[in-house]
Chain A
Amino acid sequence: MLDLPSLQFMAFHLLVGGYVLAILIAPLRDRKPFSRTNTSEGNTSQQSFLFVRYFGFGAALLASLSGLFLSMSVLTTGSALHLDLQQTLPFGSLSINVDPLAAFFLGVISLLGAVVSVYSFGYSGEYAGRKNLSLLVVLYNLFLLSMSIVVIAGNAVLFLIVWELMSLTTFFLINYEHEQRASRKAAILYIVMTHIGTAFLIVMFLLLAGTAHSFDFQSFRNSSAQLPSSIKTLIFFCALIGFGIKSGVVPFHIWLPEAHPAAPSNVSALMSGVMIKTGIYGMVRVYFDFLAPGPAWWGIVVLAVAVASAVLGVLYALMEHDLKRLLAFHSIENIGIILMGVGAAMIFMSYGNMPLATVALIAGLYHVLNHAMFKGLLFLGAGSVVSATHTRNIEELGGLVKKLPWTSAFFLIGALAISALPPLNGFVSEWLTFQALLLGFNISDLSVRVAIPIAVALLALTGALAAACFVKAFGITFLGLPRSSHAEHAHEPPRSMLVPMGVLAFACILLGVFPGSMISILTPVTTFLLGGSASALEVLNLGSLTIPQSGAGGVSPLTLVIFLVALTVLPLVLGLLLGGKLQKRAAMVWACGLEKVEPRMQYTATGFSKPIRMIFSNIFHATHEIEISEAASPFFKQQLRYELETESVFEKYFYEPMRSGVVAAAKFIRRIQTGHLQSYLLYMFIALILLLMFAR
């Protein structure tokens, strides 16, 4: 009969097979599968286009659903899947290991992957006859496949291979709209950054393998106790930089706001929603699985990086007017929030406070899932807006709530979730993060007692700023009057694009209102990482999300929902009961004494974010320029031009000196390359003589 292991085995093969099938079959129906543009006209090409579209994304859907099944089966039954591909490489056998941690991340990837695959049916219609769709299908499937294997790899060599595969497919996906210069630049920046990261990862794995004498993750785990502390510290920093670049933490974030918007929107949703989480996965794997427990200052370093990412991410997001770039900056912010949970868990773990560490880790991991849901939703929404209006600049949008009612509603839910408002899912994970951090006061170490209140305060600031940012993003994009003809003639996207958004919006609500049952799925993960006593069920009172022993106040999301609904309905009911009859009154809208209200009179995104720009002026270094051309007298202005520029502190003070340093060093070294035959002979001669004299 079908028992669990064989079901899991089948699910794994369906997962890999589905993606590989799409990669192999999709280009076959195409006459010129990898030509740069595929604009051949006619009936057959239309047919093959549909085939590529449905088969390619259908296979991805099937594969990701079986991935989801595999992950759920591991998380609910707790029996891990382990596969060995014997003797495949000289470095030992490649192995697949779906333990609870891997299963959780595989689940997140597969869930979002499934939803986005459905969205892609409709979204890829935009590229009909314009771009090569087979290429997109192949890269899309390859991307999902490599991401899935990254988290379930049980061997460093396999991990690095698929990690690189993931980086390269992302490079090509960013470059998909290669006719735009911005895409090419973003892709180059991305590939440079990610390869620097991979270099650090290779160093890290070699350090680990040096003691373990094997590249297997299991042997890393067993031998980590023998590592000297200096090597451990080195590994810690290599992992922080290597995985940090991939997840886009400050100061390694510069590629992220360039690369995510450049990719097609369905891919941006996956990149922002799950790809950057592979970096989080790596950090959790190394810090909690291989090296645990580390010293407390590791946790403080991670916490500091996390806080910086959260605050700076949201501050830069506020200054953005490009919808997708804005969302990309919010990914930096949310990675920061996730890492706050992870960093706090590291601190608590080093003090042996496992219950608190469990709460903090749950907060971080739950935010991983939540961020995947709402950021996926927001990017899909942005994709719908972009494909309806063909602009990403929110200053040209407006009034879309009437043209795209469903998209607007879903986007609003996503915006509320990312702003951490109850009763949505963002609130739950941030609430848990707050709670874990606040209870950290009980730790007696001074540096922890100083670090934690700062983190709490800045997390609160982040939440407030995120809310402000999404008031701007939603308000300017969807409310008011259309600011351009693009926005005026927009239409609702097809149903295959709306349904996935609806699913994600529903997931946001579900994860927010009933967090208890969702968090209980995380129990095997925390038990796996933090030991037997650290089960989420024991530590957390899941109904009210409090820690029973702590005596802190609790909050039940369900109660909150009831309160919120009551607070909305109650005034209406009271008004109807106590107030008099409702009266209608029609009048002109006051337009400052001018003839009628024009779209140009509306509040702009730049204007909206001005107060924040002023408050944080020493971070933004904003410079603006106003140019007024007058007609006859200064009272009648003819034209007003306003230009605003904010400066990226990191690019100017971190990357620019580094870049010029590298160039200067290269120029210096270039001097010995004279091109003179005899100077090369001279180098050899001098080297020979020095060796003879000193190296005996």
Chain B
Amino acid sequence: MAIKKFAVATYTDEAVLFPAVKKVRKSGYKLHDVYTPFAVHGLDVAAGHKTTDLHIAGFIYGICGTSTAVGFISWVYTADWPQNYGGKPHFALPAWIPITFELTVLFAAVGMVLTFCYLNQIMPGVKKHVFHPRQSDDTFVVAIELPESASEKEALDFLKSTGAGETNIQVAEASWWYGRFDKTEPYELAAAGK
């Protein structure tokens, strides 16, 4: 939870966006994020994102699901409430495999979705600052984080030089929050050209 100052630029062409993102990273400005209306191949590499470790989390959730299933079922059928089902042994492992498998998949799937939401700070009902209303329509939006000491004019000129369309300075909440846009985000200062 931190309110920060951003320099925001819009682009309409992938061929301009890629070199611009690379220039931003080279210039020493801190790239906050790039917003695109659709998945752009290779942009994650250009923006400097590492390969995700989400699947390792998935593996751990899966193991949790497996042990939950085997632990719970074996406790029920051998310790808590042992019964004779068709002469099978109380520890009837083959019969439990399907449920163990399902729980493994369920834990891994739900856990990975939630982790994905957390890592990307998205969730139904949870708000995040929108830098440009058309970032989900037809415009690529690049936001760079400005420290207090940085010159706003210099940053905007730099973004202009990379081929940006609109540029402006916004002071906004950097991470996600729970609540309403109108009540909780009075910070947005459309300070274009300032």
Asked if A pairs with B, the answer is no
- Using CB atoms and an 8 Å cutoff, list the residues of chain B in contact with chain A: none
